[in-house]
Each structure stands twice: as structure tokens, then as C-alpha cells.
Chain A
Amino acid sequence: DAGVIQSPRHEVTEMGQEVTLRCKPISGHDYLFWYRQTMMRGLELLIYFNNNVPIDDSGMPEDRFSAKMPNASFSTLKIQPSEPRDSAVYFCASSLFLQPNYGYTFGSGTRLTVV
């Protein structure tokens, strides 16, 4: 398995533009998580899905952020409009949670820079 695949690896955009981050989870995993990492705040959970349904989005910072999972093999995190303070590394992770002896698998992340 290729693992969790995120794209793009790097994204530089201007303030006010729309940004879309993409994630392909491991096939068969029921749970998908979006995290954000900054130096100041560390790793923060933004939202997670179970069987394509959003379960908890309490970590989403503002209405400018939205996430979707249209099918079991694809999820997007969208920021519109983007702001410089959104600059961070965004990670996607998936898990076969119902097996307790199983950890999360993280992707390599998308480094977002908003100028």
C-alpha cells in the first residue's frame, strides 16, 4: 500500500485566494483525520470523518475552513479566503479504528504558505 497520499506537498498562495488540500486515505480505513501543525500551537486536530461522514469539526478554526469526503478514497480541506496566519503544515491521517491494536497512518503533509 502506498500509504496516505497528500497533495500538493507545497503550496504558496496569496492572501485572499482559495486553497484546496487533498488526501487519499489507505484503502479500507474507516476514519480520516485532518491536522494542522505550527510552531506555536503544535499538532491540532481540525476535523475527522467516519465512513465519509464528518463526526467532529470542533477544531476547525473558522468558517473559512471547510472539509469534505465525497467518497471513501478522497477528502479535501479548503480554505477560502486564505490568510497569512493559515500558513502551516497540514496533515491527513487515516485509521482502521475499530481495531484497537492499530495506530493512525499519517501522510507526508502539505506545507502551506500564504503571503
Chain B
Amino acid sequence: DAKTTQPPSMDCAEGRAANLPCNHSTISGNEYVYWYRQIHSQGPQYIIHGLKNNETNEMASLIITEDRKSSTLILPHATLRDTAVYYCIVRVAEPYSGGGADGLTFGKGTHLIIQP
């Protein structure tokens, strides 16, 4: 079963905020939400992650609902170079348990197209 649900594609005008939704209704208390993107012909690129609180970095903001069942990635001022496939991933992070790291499981993601 897929852990996340994302729309297959979205359009956004250049210069506007791009808001990418992700549903993860079965998320567990110890699972983080990660966002990656993949620009054409490149490897996936880490964007941001969070557990409960909203997070912001130089690339984007991550808004997680209080019940943690969904989240939104926000690119505040989208540019043409932000055209990419965006992946929302939930994953356990157990830094001190000594357990094996589950590799990231990528779904189909959202193809975000920034229009000039």
C-alpha cells in the first residue's frame, strides 16, 4: 500500500507560490515526512523534512497538519527551474536504535510545471 497520495501533476505561474499537497493518513508517530524533487535527467534532491512542527529552509516551507495526516510543501516564489517531479515520503528515522535504515520508497510524485 502506498503510504502517501499526491496529485499526478500541477501547474503554477512563475513568481507565484507553489503549494504541493500530500496525504499520509496512516502515518505513525515516529515517521517523518520528507520531500525530494527530481529535475529532468538529474538525481533526486533533498528539499526538507519534518515530524510535527512546520519547517522552513532556504528552499521551501513544510506545513504539517495538527493530526499529521497531510502536509503541504510550499515554494514561495516559483521559478522555471523549479519544474520537476516532487516526491512526498514518510519514513521512520531511528537514529539511535541501531536498526537498519529503510531506504526511501519513492511513489509517483507530483509533476510540477512552472508556467512563464
Contact = CB atoms under 8 A, between A and B. Distances in A.
Nearest to B102: A56
Contact of A108 (B34, B43, B96): B43
Contact of B103 (A42, A45, A100, A101): A45
A100 B31 CA distance: 11
A98 interface: yes
Contacts of A104: 36, 44, 46, 104
Contacts of A42: 106-108
Interface stretch (A11-19, A68-76, A78-86, A89-97): A89-97
Contact of B46 (A45, A59, A103): A103
B100 A56 contact: yes
B29 interface: no
Interface residues of A, number: 27
Nearest to B46: A103
Given A42-B106, A43-B106, A48 B101 contact: yes
Interface in B36-51: 36, 42-47, 49
Interface of B: 32, 34, 36, 42-47, 49, 93, 95-96, 100-101, 103-108
Interface of A: 4, 31, 33, 35, 42-43, 45, 48, 50, 55-56, 59, 91, 93, 95, 97-101, 103-109
7 contacts: A43-B44, A43-B106, A45-B105, A48-B101, A56-B100, A103-B34, A103-B36
